[in-house]
Amino acid sequence: MSFVDSLKAGELAEVVMLRPEGSSLDLNSSSVMDSEVLDDERTSKRQTRYGAAILKDPSDLYYALLKEFSDVVSDDPPSVLPPDRGVRREIDLVPGTKYCTTRQWPLPKEQVDVIDAFFAAKHAAGMVRESKSPHSSPTFCVRKPNGKWRMVHAFNKLNAATILASTPIPRKDVLQNYMAGCTFFSALDMVDGYYQLLMRESNIPLTAVSTPSGMLWEWLVMPQGLSNAPATFNRLVTQLFRPMRQFVQTYFDDIFVHSRASEGKTAVEAHLGHLREVLLCMRENRLYANINTCIFGAEEIPFLGCFLGKDGVRADPEKVCAIAQWPVPVSQKDLRKWLGLANYLHKYSANYAEMARPLTNLLKKDAVWSWTSEAQQAFEATKSSLQSAPILALPDEDRPFSVVCDASDFAIGFPPIEGGGKELPRPR
């Protein structure tokens, strides 16, 4: 049955057509992300309760807890072979696969020394052992933003021969909804998460890696670079923290703890209790977090590309600033890059699809590149709308919802609206 037929038959209780009285810019008007606020965000950091700073203040409510669990949350976590937690990294090869071998290539002496020191430390920790495997993947280094080296194994052939797992990836919006109504948050960043998982014994020879100095090592724990590795680690974390689902959400190596006042406890008391349960679980399973990057007892935390707090979700000011400062595109490639960033924040902008239509038209297959006044106007309007991005409230699933439909010749929308009766519905 069509939408119109359903409406005539009375199967829809109500239809609300949203029509802006002014322009899209009017709908996006907000003081939350105006230019002055953006300037403040660029020049000064928001107050962030990092664990290292809390440990310098004995009067802080979270100080005693962090001191008690300094073996779990520290700036120098132990490097040891993890226990068997029931989840191991398993590699299932495509039938007919023989050997996955790639020759090691020469590297600068600086990288050779870094690689040798890395494997010496991992061997001392019991994470690698010398190998006689017929498989071999080369090792090299890439420079991190902080100037240090990141170890990389070129598992290209092994990954190409691996049967991919169909493990579900957590949805960001679903995780956010679990945190609705909470007033205190913590974010824990686990250290060397992949090295916290054992390899299946029969698969250890497949992980053999060569070094420029002529060594062949094989991993007893899950190395970085294997396909299915993120899914395996996420399966472990989900399994361990599933009993705490009411106040803990996990996303790969990130753990988010959220609390509100309940059962006669204040929000702070509840949050301290929830954190204790999380840290006890980590201690029992020998999982570790970096004190310098963990946040405890904050009213707002960075959350998977945005900021989440008691008032809802807001756009990351750094991303908004990058969009606002982007120069006028001079090619389809430039425009595609900018739209990719802008599209990531589209939910913060009313009528985004229609507003950006002159720009998306320029990316069509047969489009001729011509930066017109209409394109410039759409470019500036989209920038302006995202600079005034509002805070989006999280849904209260105990309230009724309606679906509001609207469409034009170029766009269609059907947002769920929270609320009913005489209350003003709130878009989600």
pLDDT for position 405: 85
Separation of alpha carbons 400 and 391, rounded Å: 21
Residue with tokens 């349960």: 277
Coil/strand/helix, residue 99: coil
Residue 372 CA, distance from chain mean position: 37
Cβ neighbourhood burial of 302 (10 Å; 0-12, 13-18, 19+): middle
Higher pLDDT, 218 or 24: 218
Residues 23-45: what's their mean pLDDT?
Answer: 43
| Section 191-218 average pLDDT | 94
Are β-strands 289-290 and 73-74 bridged in parallel, bridged antiparallel, or unpaired?
A: parallel
Task: Give pLDDT tens digits for 222-238.
Answer: 999 999 888 899 999 99
Reply yes or no on whether the pLDDT at 22 is more than 70: no
More confident residue, 119 or 403: 119
Specify the pairing of strand 216-219 against strand 128-130: antiparallel
Q: Distance (Å, rounded) from C-alpha 352 to C-alpha 67?
A: 48
Nearest Cα neighbor of 408 from 20, 15, 7 is 20
pLDDT on residue 31:
38
Angle, to 10 degrees, between the axis of helix 317-324 and the axis of helix 332-344? Answer: 150
Q: Tell me the whole-structure pTM to 2 decimals.
A: 0.81
Angle, CA 102 vertex, CA 97 and CA 105 arms, to 5° = 175
Q: Which secondary-structure segment (H or E) carries 427? A: strand 426-427
**What distance in Å separates the CA atoms of residue 323 and residue 331, rounded to the nearest whole number?**
17
Judged against a pLDDT cut of 60, whether residue 52 lies above it is answered with yes
> Considering only CA atoms, which of 68, 282, 262, 260 is closest in space to residue 196?
282
pLDDT digits (tens, 9 = 90+) for 375-391: 999 999 999 999 998 99
**How would residue 70 be classed by pLDDT, with cut points 50, 70 and 90?**
very high
Q: Which residue's structure tokens are 């707002």?
A: 300
The answer, yes or no, to whether residue 130 has pLDDT greater than 50, is yes
Mean pLDDT on 208-220: 97
Ordered domains of the chain (ranges, CATH): 3-44+315-427 (no CATH), 51-76+168-198+227-312 (3.30.70.270), 109-167+202-219 (3.10.10.10)
